[in-house]
Homo-oligomer: A and B are copies of this chain.
Amino acid sequence: MSLDYKFEGWLGHDPSSAKGKMQWGFFEPKEWEETDVDIKISHCGICGTDLHNLRSGWGPTIYPCCVGHEIVGNAIRVGSKVEGIHIGDRVGVGAQCDSCCERDCEECSSGNENYCPRKWIGTYNAIHKNGGKSYGGYATYNRSPSRFVFKIPDAIESKHAAPMLCAGITTYAPLKRNNCGPGTKVGIIGFGGLGHFGLMWAKALGAEVTVISRKSDKKDDAFEMGATKFIATAEEENWAIRNAGSLNMIFSILSSSKLPYPEYLSLLCKDGTFIQFGVPEDGPLTIPAISLVMKRVKMTGSLIGSPSEIREMLQFAAENVIKPWVKELPMKDANQAIVDMTDGKARYRYVLVN
């Protein structure tokens, strides 16, 4: 079958591409299988992971690499073995586009495909089971296995749905798993794309949310989104002592190992949970054992969400009218957008639009 559309996108050819030097070009999607969906991309969010990958920050990237894993668009080709998706449907793809999906895989068979230990296939910079390479959403089209293609509820605009597929689910899943609800006091360290989602989900789940940031420049935004408290660590003396033991759960979204982890941990009450999202490129976290021992706090991490959690989140977002703060930018400006993202200018998510 010869297609009447071409896969083109912004390609990183080496680590310098992360500095706004991606080049537009064609790429060859994985060989078609009847379980696949081709998507005409309308929107793609810009995630911090895109930058890590463009610059080979987490290990050597397979260049050329087209990043972007907050993809929304319309299904324009649907394999004969695909269930529940039809040509024309508005659909999305997140950070993972396939897993082993074998019945004898404990994770895949129990709906935890995002922890599949055998084949965790990223939406870009990965090799599909059939040997093809995966390419992301800073592009015209995307081809992904249908198990990881999600229908977008009508109530959610595409520009809002796109960032939900990575930033959204990454924060939604651990809140639900850790029983966030009325009475829970959540702290958000790192108030950006993921952080502002965390605030909105937690608020919608009934929790009180404290935003913890270096400076107070995002304070008004945080309160507008529903925060009940804001701590500016660079501006408030003794912030750790004054707020000690005040939180049940902390989301740490920053990607640096040079952070005051002992002070952050001191904000937790007994049996509190510290959830790490970022994977710093600059080294391991340094955690004083005493912080863990004295209040029995738990330090853990979280990795996106499963397909079933993504479906649940989309439903929750539709019902609770969750609207992330996004700025739409034309796809042609992707290079400038990743530079601005690196500089921390996003308030709070850039979404590229075709």
Residues of A within 8 A of B (CB): 107, 112, 115, 117, 245, 257, 262, 270, 276-280, 283-303
Bound Cα distance A262, B288 (Å) = 16
- In contact, B296 and A300 (Cβ under 8 angstroms): yes
Contact of A286 among B284, B293, B299 (CB under 8 A): B284
Q: Contacts A294-B301, A298-B300 given; 8 further ones with Cβ under 8 A?
A: A112-B270, A276-B293, A279-B293, A284-B288, A289-B301, A296-B300, A296-B303, A297-B301
Q: For the complex, give the distance between the alpha carbons of A14 and B63 in Å.
A: 62
A280–B285 CB distance below 8 A: no
A288 to B276, CA, bound (A): 11
Q: Are A294 and B287 in contact (CB under 8 A)?
A: no
Q: Which residues of B contact A291 (CB under 8 A)?
A: 301
What DSSP secondary structure best describes chain A's contact surface? Answer: mixed
Verify B289–A287 contact, CB threshold 8 A: no
Contact check: which of B283, B297, B298, B302 meets A293 at CB < 8 Å?
A: B302
Q: A300 is contacted by which of B112, B279, B297, B301 (Cβ under 8 Å)?
A: B297
Alpha-carbon separation in the docked complex, A299 to B296 (Å):
10
How many copies the complex holds: the figure is: 2
A300 to chain B, nearest CB (A): 4
A278 with B289: in contact, given A294-B303, A296-B115 (CB under 8 Å)?
Answer: yes
Q: How far is the CA of A287 from the CA of B291 in the complex (A)?
A: 14
User: Which residues in B have their C-beta under 8 angstroms from that of A296?
Assistant: 115, 300-303
Which of B115, B277, B289, B299 makes the CB contact (< 8 A) with A280?
A: B289
The chain B residue with its CB closest to the CB of A290 is B279
User: Could you tell me the distance between the alpha carbons of A296 and B299 in the complex, rounded to whole angstroms?
Assistant: 10
Q: How far is the CA of A235 from the CA of B283 in the complex (A)?
A: 28
- Sample (11) of A-B pairs whose CB atoms are under 8 Å apart: A115-B270, A115-B295, A279-B290, A284-B286, A284-B289, A292-B299, A293-B301, A296-B302, A296-B303, A298-B299, A298-B300
User: Which residues does chain B contribute within 8 Å of A279, judged by CB atoms?
Assistant: 289-290, 293
